[in-house]
Amino acid sequence: MKYVTTPRVLSAIFAAFLLSVRGLHATDAPEVEADTDEADKLAKQLANPISSLISVPFQANEDFGYGPSHNGYKFTLNIQPVIPISISKDWNVIVRTILPVVSQHDLFYVENLPKSAPINPQNRSQDGLSEHDQSFFFSPKKPGPFGLIWGIGPAFLYPTGTQDLLGTGTFSIGPTVN
């Protein structure tokens, strides 16, 4: 038996294929829609600092042209966990830590610097931890007027720099508002 393929037969097969694909998609639509709604809810919770989710965002900063020679380079990776803690039925304490991991090159390098200078001209690169900042925000569990989400509390700067040129080496405390 010989099969003849004509443009009309190919068009009918293609149309049947499109209808079947469209039919499959239509039956999957409620599930896809539910997944999208769930993803939207999760995204809103992650963006909301007073939600009950723990998040650990990473922020990368890259800077060029630093230092006295303007040839310096600095890369900072901030690891920033945010942990909400319920302290009553109406209030949370939100603990936010910023831990910077730094790699910097030629920030303090000056050509022809005398050997008696306080900074070793051969020490052109520093890698390690910088000082980390920890904030404690006291925040109501429900947004205020106009959907405003706020928090207030103390902030601490801990001298955790692993090298002298990666931090100030001092402990600091002060207020923070968000």
102: nearest Cα among 70, 123, 125: 125
- Give 139-176 pLDDT, tens digit per residue: 998 888 888 888 999 999 999 999 888 888 999 999 99
Strands 91-105 and 132-140: antiparallel
Q: What is the mean pLDDT of residues 105-118?
A: 69
Per-residue pLDDT tens digits for 1-22: 444 445 555 555 555 555 554 4
Q: What is the mean pLDDT of residues 78-101?
A: 93
- Residue 50's closest CA among 126, 169, 143? 143
Mean pLDDT for the stretch of residues 46-55: 70
More confident of the two residues 3 and 67: 67
Please tell me the pTM assigned to this model. Answer: 0.65
